[in-house]
Structure 1
């Protein structure tokens, strides 16, 4: 064992020397790029240009569709309020236009738009697209719209008691967009999703502003 170790030790400098001669640096082993034929390069450039044009056309088409939805909401809410039927129609339009999460972020989460449009996009992301809450919250924060406030009011049919129908009940919820993202307003989202059916007589979405006109509905005791 000792002799063998000495022989290996004596031969090791020669081995290292021979290995040194056979060693090649990475630069020597690196293959130089092959030249691209001119016709192939032109085809690649044409393909990329065509893809870019297609993307721009798609973007412009999405922008035009988003504008139509925004204009519809703004027209219907010219008095700073929106009826639930109009709200639901705008929601269905987004679904029919196949809007995705990125489209909502780009076109509906703009701080210069009315908060009703922001709420529409947020509700669409949660109920229709199933976007995770953490993604929604990040989007609201990044677009600086998380603290914008909305007020939803709805009338419920008065219950019957001792042969008389009680006065119709007005319910009101004032909340921020981040409250919706944190699932603190599930009751409100359910009302907006269902609309004015069964015991709910009317639903209205308003900009939460003290100067906005109050919404009232006549109600009275009715005899059975």
Structure 2
């Protein structure tokens, strides 16, 4: 990875810069080939091709091209699995309009997350403070590019970092290796999270089990490498507080903005 670019790659990053890859004449003669290739370009390259080449303008402006651009940029699902709102808008306004509208509205959705996560970092969070924010993020249609630039940043709170990591891992299926690589690049891998919980005292099978208070400190890298089990703990502690023969109580999370405690 070089500079601040994410570790993912875009196939055929730019036809403009790779004239030797395929000629413009070939694209005109084989529109089916161009329809397959154009969605893998940066959207600005597609717009440039359409504006500087009359022969390619029709292909660059086609519904099929913009539908695939939308699906690659915002949602890697099949057309049938896209939210009904976006399908209806696409049929009424065209996929290019839907793409631009979504692109323009994206900052507002991310800003709303920043506002929801505004909380003094020296305080404790309970699971019911964190889990609703996860559900809000899951409703957004983000790409890994969005997660990389808007969530994996050192100056942001650890909670926002965690929400981005959750989305990348569970919603986008980004590999642990790629996430770790990008966390190192963005200097967030060593940020710390403290998890506190309590096993209350109880009698079990004739034995008296004393109350046990536990504390575990994780780095963001450790949370990712453990398969995000941190989130499973929070989820089940809030909905089903009994783990095996024990009940877990007093679950809190403390975030540390700096790399040290």
User: TM-score under structure 1 normalisation?
Assistant: 0.61
In the alignment, which residue of structure 2 is the partner of 1:58? 102
Q: CA separation of 1:56/1:170 partners in 2, compared to 1, >3 Å: closer, same or farther?
A: farther
Q: CA separation of 1:158/1:203 partners in 2, compared to 1, >3 Å: closer, same or farther?
A: same
User: 2:152·2:183 contact (CA, 8 Å) conserved in 1?
Assistant: yes
Aligned residue pair count: 171
In the alignment, which residue of structure 2 is the partner of 1:202? 250
In the alignment, which residue of structure 1 is the partner of 2:112? 68
2:57 to 44, 58, 66: 44
1:92 alignment partner, SS class: helix
User: 1:151·1:175 contact (CA, 8 Å) conserved in 2?
Assistant: yes
The gaps in structure 2 that reach 5 residues or longer are 1-24, 29-50, 63-93
2:249 alignment partner, SS class: strand
User: 1:116·1:206 contact (CA, 8 Å) conserved in 2?
Assistant: no
In the alignment, which residue of structure 1 is the partner of 2:193? 150
Q: How much does 1:114 deviate?
A: 0.7
User: 2:158·2:257 contact (CA, 8 Å) conserved in 1?
Assistant: no
Distance 1:64 1:90 in 2: 15
Q: CA separation of 1:152/1:69 partners in 2, compared to 1, >3 Å: closer, same or farther?
A: same
User: 1:63·1:107 contact (CA, 8 Å) conserved in 2?
Assistant: no
Which of 1 and 2 has greater Rg? 1
User: 1:73·1:82 contact (CA, 8 Å) conserved in 2?
Assistant: no
In the alignment, which residue of structure 2 is the partner of 1:141? 184
User: 1:85·1:195 contact (CA, 8 Å) conserved in 2?
Assistant: no
In the alignment, which residue of structure 1 is the partner of 2:154? 111
User: 2:199·2:248 contact (CA, 8 Å) conserved in 1?
Assistant: yes
Instruction: Report the aligned-residue RMSD.
Output: 3.7
Q: How much does 1:152 deviate?
A: 1.4
2:117 alignment partner, SS class: helix
User: 1:147·1:177 contact (CA, 8 Å) conserved in 2?
Assistant: yes
Distance 1:201 1:155 in 2: 5
2:137 alignment partner, SS class: helix
Offset from partner CA, 1:50-71 (integer Å, 9 cap, x none): 9887655423322211121221
Distance 1:182 1:163 in 2: 36
In the alignment, does 2:261 pair up with 1:193? Answer: no
Distance 1:126 1:57 in 2: 26
2:129 to 68, 86, 92: 86
User: TM-score under structure 2 normalisation?
Assistant: 0.53
In the alignment, which residue of structure 1 is the partner of 2:217? 174
Distance 1:146 1:84 in 2: 22
